[in-house]
Amino acid sequence: MGETISGAAEAPEPPIPAPPPAPPARSMAGEVLGQSPYIAMLAASFGGVAYAAFTETPNAIYWMVMAPLFGLLCVVAGWAAAPDRGGRLRLIWTQGAHWAAFLLAMLLLFRPEVQGVMQGRASEIGLLLLLALGAFVAGVHAGSWRIVAVGALLGLAVPLLAFIQQSALLIVAAALLMGAAGAVFLWAASRAK
């Protein structure tokens, strides 16, 4: 019973499947489009500070819109890293609470009592600092290095903007920082391939 038939052919081995095709390389325009939410975060932040530099009173409505938008972008950025429905609900809850707290802190800067003791353009610098800290911490919690990078770049801009104090130079500095941030995102995306 344990004998084998000597003339029988062995079964052929199944062919090894070919590896899946590599995804097509993204063009420079595709890279920019992929990084556009983060570039938009930087542009909107610096744009708000530049706008405030040209007005007599800061615009609270602008910042009331910015904080929830940043929160939404943080949820979108962290969505893929959330392991399941519970993780996604936790992401939404923590980002919502996080940005609500930062919005409250931003709104406190607009109170007349606070504005009365702030000199010069301190409120714009304070708002940018709050936004930088908010983005950095939100990126850590969402697990998004890009949001962390946005927060870090905004934070690095705070001393520079505090030093410059002239509105024309402020706009040029913001444009240069946005360009540098875009270059960093494109470089990081090309290295991640």
Q: What is the pLDDT of residues 35-72, one digit of tens each?
A: 878 888 888 888 877 777 677 666 778 878 888 888 88
Mean pLDDT for the stretch of residues 13-37: 70
Helices (H), the chain: 28-54, 60-79, 85-109, 112-117, 122-142, 145-164, 167-191
Predicted confidence at residue 98, as pLDDT, reads 92
Q: What is the mean pLDDT of the chain?
A: 79
Q: Which of 151, 122, 135 is nearest to 58 (CA)?
A: 122
The answer, as to whether pTM is greater than 0.75, is no
Tell me the pLDDT band of 193, cut-offs 50, 70 and 90: low
DSSP string, 53-77: HHSSS--HHHHHHHHHHHHHHHHHH
Residue 26 has pLDDT above 70, yes or no: no
Q: What angle do CA 184, 189, 193 make, to 5 degrees?
A: 145
- Distance (Å, whole) CA 101 – CA 99: 5
Q: What residue type is 1 in one-letter code? A: M
Which tens digit of pLDDT belongs to each residue from 129-182?
Answer: 888 899 999 888 888 888 899 899 988 888 877 766 555 566 777 778 888 888
Q: Which residue has the tokens 């995306």?
A: 189
